[in-house]
Amino acid sequence: MKTLANLTAIENQLHQLLETDKPIKLNCNESPFDLPQTLKDTITSKMAELSWNRYPDFQQTDLVELLAHSVGLKNENILLGNGSSQLIQQIINCCSKFVSEVIIENPTFTLYHQICQNERLNYKEWHLNENGSFCIENFPTVSEPSIVIITSPNNPTGAVLPKNELETLLQTYPECIFLVDEAYGEFANESSIELIHKYSNLLVLKTFSKGFGLPSMRFGYVAGSKILIDLLRKHTIPFTINVFSELIVRESLTNNSFSRIIKTNQERIKNLRDFSCYELSEIADKTTFSVNTSQSNFLLLRFNDTSLLNEIKEIFAAKNITVSFPITDCIRITIGTEVEMSKVLKIIKQCVNSFKVSCQEAILNTLSVY
Ligand SMILES: Cc1ncc(COP(=O)(O)O)c(C=O)c1O
């Protein structure tokens, strides 16, 4: 009965949304699902009990312990940050003192290029395959100690570097520091975090902005060997985590109903992603566009025809749908709600159908000349 009521509610929302052009935001890889008001109210009342006149705990011992426990590591292996972006800056800044080069994938999260340029660090690019996957044979030549940055799942392609291939690289280049950015790790099938027990040159970066759906909290952490974490700690400014973020992150790990909501939302997004990918691959072909499976909360569509891409861009803009264009000829679509995805898929299908019809008409016109 409950499922039926849910379905009716979704159907009603779908009708409403198809009628209106209410903004749909699918450009920042955020979760489309906010927390229930009752949960927000419970946490807000706990916030009111905190001492707002005091600095947060300097060491953040409780939170570090909770996180370390959740990933099977020790407190000494964890360093917290104000979002993973702040940690990316801190790690590259720290490593720039003793490495002369950075290896980054192409394509990747643009912040990496920006920070390397700011730090005046040379970078070599590891080019991914046309379908967005990693190709270990393309790994650039490394001649000096470097920092190797791997976003896995990759943003914007959604591909994961298999753990055995990461291990091959870690073993081949023990003099390099590997930073594996698992910002989208909760949507993937595997994590490299357990390799920290085995490789002291590995750092794994985590955020609460994507899989936990809490980008407003600005919270992330980096896990790694004691020696690397101690080194990074020397470059930390005090009190980067405020008491409110600390409280919410702690609640998300210890309050069962909060954890359940997070897990359910992750599963819902993964199902919607796979369903949307399937629907799109059914209409994709070499004249229109391609889409690859993703282990993230977004899909990357690569267009083979610019007029089709422009048509979709224009309709999205007219209908208030914001997506992102991280690389030429591509659209990256963050997975939204069922209703939002239904609207997006409908637009793409309509554009592709009318494109195919106009191509057929053009062929018939050409033939009729002969
Ligand atoms: C690959 C990757 N890493 C890190 C981040 C930064 O996330 P935050 O600073 O919100 O933790 C993003 C944000 O989109 C991302 O795509």
Cβ of residue 157 lying under 6 Å from some atom of ligand 1: no
181 pocket-lining for ligand 1 (C-beta < 6 Å): yes
Per-residue tokens: 160: 């994961």
Q: What is the pLDDT of residue 4?
A: 56
Largest CA distance in the chain: 85
Confidence band for 363, pLDDT divided at 50, 70 and 90: confident
Q: What pLDDT, on a 0 to 100 scale, did the predictor assign at position 48?
A: 97
DSSP state of 285: B
**pLDDT value of position 229:** 98
Is any atom of ligand 1 closer than 6 Å to the C-beta of 334?
A: no
User: pLDDT by residue (tens digit) across 170-229?
Assistant: 999 999 999 999 999 999 999 999 999 999 999 999 999 999 999 999 999 999 999 999
Q: Which domains does the chain have, with CATH numbers?
A: 2-30+258-356 (3.90.1150.10), 52-254 (3.40.640.10)
The answer to whether residues 223 and 204 touch, using CB atoms and an 8 Å cutoff, is yes
Is 1's pLDDT higher than 60? Answer: no
Cα–ligand 1 centroid distance for 14 (angstroms): 30
**pLDDT, greater one: 368 or 337:** 337
DSSP string of 186-208, one letter each residue: GGSS--SGGGGGT-TTEEEEEES
Distances (CA, A) of 288 to 103, 304, 349, 355: 33, 5, 11, 8
85 lines ligand 1 (CB under 6 A): yes
